[in-house]
């Protein structure tokens, strides 16, 4: 998806952190209850300090829907702001501070590729018996596709419940865009490797033959998170050599090999709860984005919280949101100018809400 963020005025790019902080504080005070700033767990601290609420993508979108604020500044990535616009019914101004803050995983499955896959599957099997499931990390267009075709959205917290629901309604699932969450959920439900196939959208029939398609229960889109795919079994082995009593907690976007040998597996909220519940003196290796890991370490100084990968890797797209962009959008709002508003057209939003509502009914 093409997104173009123009260069910020020199006022912001040349400003010190102290100046940016004073401008943000003044704008927040002026806008008051008309403004809600949402901060995703992976945001850098210079942004998160200004958030009125923090959380994961869907949790923040639900907060947006429940808010009466006129302006919702979503410090996250593009698909998150889209979800907020969908759930607010277009009745709020949802703003993304930097339009270039996308999600590489979400971009690995676009509407044209998914529609092509659907048509290819229809040519070799009963398409009415395939249920499409999209992870929350996808565009509103893909959520709408799922809504139209009888499927649902899932999060890393409720993927098991959503996949169970889908398997009761069809013979097989097309799960996108993250193959790892789909695979880990399949194993959780007792499926074996032979029940799953990876669908490569760059190859004819996903790189499969007709027998593969017909035998598979889970067709897993060839997509991944650029951060979570970095974590390896070797990292866990090295950590346990140094800390035999340490705790390893990983996100389900990690590979199945990593998930198999971790002590705890779960969403960002689950990771936070594991750290909070660990006794003082614990050493905890966390396999997720570094800004959350660093925040957990700062908030729990009586525990040692480290990244499982010593070569720490931030979410490069989430990292685009900074204090300069936040100050820029807020000062524009004070001046009566709405910049970087994210909107989803009516029909797409309607079907995306259907897919999201199915998820809520399931879980």
Over residues 63-96, the pLDDT tens digits come to 998 999 999 999 999 999 999 999 999 899 999 9
Asked if residue 2 belongs to a domain, the reply is no
Determine the longest span between alpha carbons in the chain, in angstroms. Answer: 63
Domain shared by 38 and 21, yes or no: yes
Domain shared by 232 and 215, yes or no: no
Across residues 99-120, what is the average pLDDT? 95
Number of domains in the chain: 3
Per-residue confidence (pLDDT) for residue 301, from 0 to 100 = 97
> Which residues are within 8 A (CB) of 299 and not within 5 positions of it... i.e. 6 or more apart?
none
Domain shared by 281 and 323, yes or no: no
Domain shared by 114 and 219, yes or no: yes
Asked if residue 41 belongs to a domain, the reply is yes
* Contacts within 8 Å (CB) and 24+ apart, 238-247: 239/285, 239/306, 239/308, 243/283, 243/285, 245/283, 246/282, 246/283, 246/284, 246/285, 247/274, 247/278, 247/282, 247/283, 247/284, 247/285
Domain shared by 145 and 207, yes or no: yes
Q: Which of 177, 208, 225 is the endpoint of a domain?
A: 225
Per-residue confidence (pLDDT) for residue 116, from 0 to 100 = 98
Contact yes or no for 63/55 (Cβ under 8 A) = yes
Task: Report the alpha-carbon distance of residue 52 to residue 70 in Å, rounded.
Answer: 14
The yes-or-no verdict on residue 58 having pLDDT over 90 is no
The average confidence (pLDDT) of the chain is 95
Per-residue confidence (pLDDT) for residue 70, from 0 to 100 = 97
The pTM for the full model equals 0.92
Domain shared by 284 and 340, yes or no: no
Under the banding of pLDDT at 50, 70 and 90, the label for residue 319 is confident
Give me the CATH number covering residue 339. 3.40.50.10800
Under the banding of pLDDT at 50, 70 and 90, the label for residue 313 is low
Across residues 155-159, what is the average pLDDT? 93
Q: Which of 225, 260, 295 is the endpoint of a domain?
A: 225
Q: Which of 190, 225, 260 is the endpoint of a domain?
A: 225
Domain shared by 185 and 196, yes or no: yes
**Tens digits of residue pLDDT in 6-49:** 899 999 999 999 999 999 999 999 999 999 999 999 899 999 99
Domain range enclosing 210: 106-225
Per-residue confidence (pLDDT) for residue 315, from 0 to 100 = 75
Place of tokens 């957990």: 296
């Amino acid at each position: 998806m093409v997104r173009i963020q123009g260069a910020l005025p020199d006022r912001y790019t040349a400003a010190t952190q102290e100046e940016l902080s004073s401008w943000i504080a003044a704008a927040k005070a002026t806008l008051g209850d008309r403004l809600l700033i949402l901060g995703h767990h992976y945001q850098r601290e210079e942004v998160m300090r200004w958030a009125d609420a923090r959380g994961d993508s869907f949790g923040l979108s639900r907060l947006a829907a429940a808010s009466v604020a006129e302006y919702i500044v979503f410090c996250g990535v593009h698909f998150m702001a889209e979800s907020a616009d969908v759930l607010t019914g277009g009745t709020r101004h949802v703003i993304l501070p930097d339009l270039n803050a996308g999600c590489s995983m979400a971009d690995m499955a676009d509407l044209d590729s998914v529609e092509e896959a659907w048509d290819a599957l229809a040519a070799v099997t009963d398409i009415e018996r395939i249920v499409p499931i999209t992870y929350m990390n996808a565009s509103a267009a893909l959520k709408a596709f799922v809504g139209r075709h009888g499927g649902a959205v899932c999060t890393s917290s409720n993927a098991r419940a959503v996949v169970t629901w889908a398997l009761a309604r069809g013979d097989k699932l097309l799960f996108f865009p993250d193959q790892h969450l789909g695979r880990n959920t399949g194993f959780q439900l007792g499926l074996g490797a032979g029940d799953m196939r990876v669908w490569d959208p760059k190859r004819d029939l996903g790189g499969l033959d007709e027998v593969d398609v017909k035998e598979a229960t889970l067709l897993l889109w060839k997509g991944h998170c650029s951060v979570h795919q970095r974590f390896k079994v070797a990292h866990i082995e090295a950590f346990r050599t140094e800390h035999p009593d340490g705790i390893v907690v990983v996100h389900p976007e990690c590979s199945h090999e990593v998930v198999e040998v971790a002590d705890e597996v779960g969403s960002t909220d689950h990771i936070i709860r594991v750290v909070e519940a660990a006794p003082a003196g614990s050493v905890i290796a966390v396999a997720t984005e570094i800004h959350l890991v660093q925040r957990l370490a700062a908030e729990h100084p009586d525990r040692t919280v480290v990244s499982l990968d010593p070569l720490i890797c931030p979410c490069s797209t989430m990292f685009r949101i900074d204090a300069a962009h936040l100050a820029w959008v807020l000062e524009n709002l004070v001046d009566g100018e709405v910049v970087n508003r994210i909107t989803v057209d009516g029909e797409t939003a309607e079907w995306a809400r259907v897919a999201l509502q199915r998820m809520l009914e399931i879980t």
